[in-house]
Amino acid sequence: MAELLTALFALIGGAIGGVLGVGGGIVFVPALAIILGEPQLQAEATSLLAIVPVAIVGTWRQHRHGNVRVRDGLLIGVLAVPGVVIGVIVANAVSERALELGFAGLMLFVASQLIRRALRGEKPPPAPPADSS
């Protein structure tokens, strides 16, 4: 049964990622931790691995539609590497409860900002065009 639930959440997470451009972790981490009962740290680490093929395919498909700013994406990816190294060290040093609260807090903050922007009718600033390569 756990495998069936995992497959279902993988499909849902991939679809949400494709539609909304969010990392699968928004679906994968809660599904693994809450529904399948994995410890928070293990759910986060497993989600990181699961996101790799999702990100590759999503990027490839979005690039075909001209929506990817390759230079910015690569710059963010390269510069995020030191941050993720530090983050993994911190994640392994803090309590399970701290990880759960941190993850939930981040999701609440992002949700509140998106809701605030939508209710006010604010639009994000115009983005430069995507790469033509």
For residue 133, the model assigns a pLDDT of 52
Positions in the chain whose pLDDT score sits under 70: 23, 131-133
Q: Are 32 and 18 in contact (CB under 8 A)?
A: no
For residue 71, the model assigns a pLDDT of 95
For residue 132, the model assigns a pLDDT of 55
- Count of C-beta atoms within a 10 Å radius of residue 24: 26
Q: Please, where are the H alpha helices in 34-94?
A: 40-64, 70-93
- Count of C-beta atoms within a 10 Å radius of residue 128: 7
**Amino acid identity, residue 6?**
T
Q: Which two tokens stand for residue 35?
A: 């529904």
